[in-house]
Amino acid sequence: MKIFWLCLLGFISQQAYAQEIEARAYSNAPIGYNFLTGGIAQANSGSYHLTSESLSFTRIIDVAGQSGRVSVLLPYSQLSTTKNLGLQNLNASAEGLSDPVIKFSANLYGAPALSEEEFKSYKQDLIIGASIAATLPWGKYNNNQIVNVGGNRSLIKPGIGASQAIGPWRLELAGMATIYTNNTSFMGSNTLSQNPIYSTEGHVIYYFQNNAWISADATYYIGGQAFINGVPNNGAQENWRFGGTMSYPINKHNSIRLSGTTGVYSRTNNSYDAIVLSWQYRWGGGL
């Protein structure tokens, strides 16, 4: 179960600004826009409960004539569990800075770098983009306990995706791989290693006239066999998750977003439910 929670913390860290199932990962915006987002995420699986507060910053940039973005996420988490051992209840918890995330994405086709004035006449057709994210092992970690809010290892996540506009609808499809470095101080001086996880996700998004939008989301991922000192542990993962996202603009600077996901199938019984609420402030680009 420890290995599951290391992976889940990686999800919460990236998904506090919307990523295990992230709608609109490949979209266009005026160059020079900045987004500051504060959010809170909660996830539950059996007796395990995770709460993560986060602050992220994103800037829209020009990448060889197409739009791109650079993002930095700082999460702070509380993780707790209660286990029954015979006639006794064992309570375990951890709190502190979780592993920060940096992400760079670039649209490769269909999302030209535009000023705010030029963007007013832009109409999306097909967008194709690529991204890479890295989780840094700076979170709080104690190798003498099984519950931690930091993973003590790095995650590298390359991805590629496309978004097709059909009237007020957007159809999105993306594929990613999550690559793990080793944790060489797992429960003492043991070495935790893990095979990559490969995932694909799809979104059906509808835009309203006031720029609010809703989406139906789904993701499938497979792989991630973990090893302790080279010995297989828990088995490879295979999971289906469904969810939804709603974003509503308060005014031209502020918007709120609510998203939730739930597991509908899990080969290794590590399904969980998660919900994320965030507030976003936008400035720059002539605003």
* CATH assignment at residue 59: 2.40.160.40
Averages of pLDDT over runs of 10 residues in the chain (287 residues) are 48 41 88 96 85 95 97 92 65 87 96 94 96 94 86 94 97 95 92 93 96 95 91 86 95 95 81 90 81
Strand 197-207 to strand 231-233: parallel, antiparallel, or no bridges (unpaired)? unpaired
Q: For residues 215 and 119, what is the distance between their CA atoms, to the nearest angstrom? A: 23
What is the token pair recorded at 135?
């989780």
Beta bridge partners of 71: 58, 103
Question: Chain centroid to CA 33: how far?
Answer: 21
Domain that holds residue 76: 2-284
Alpha helix (H) ranges present in 78-213?
116-119
Note whether 154 and 141 are within 8 A (CB): no
Beta strands in 146-212 (DSSP E): 155-166, 169-180, 183-186, 190-194, 197-207
Give the model's pLDDT for residue 235: 78
Q: HSE-up of 94 (CA within 13 Å, CB side)?
A: 23
Give the model's pLDDT for residue 17: 34
The total domain count for the chain is 1
Note whether 85 and 137 are within 8 A (CB): no
Give the model's pLDDT for residue 97: 93
Residue showing tokens 């286990």: 83
* Nearest Cα residue to 143 out of 201, 174, 183: 183
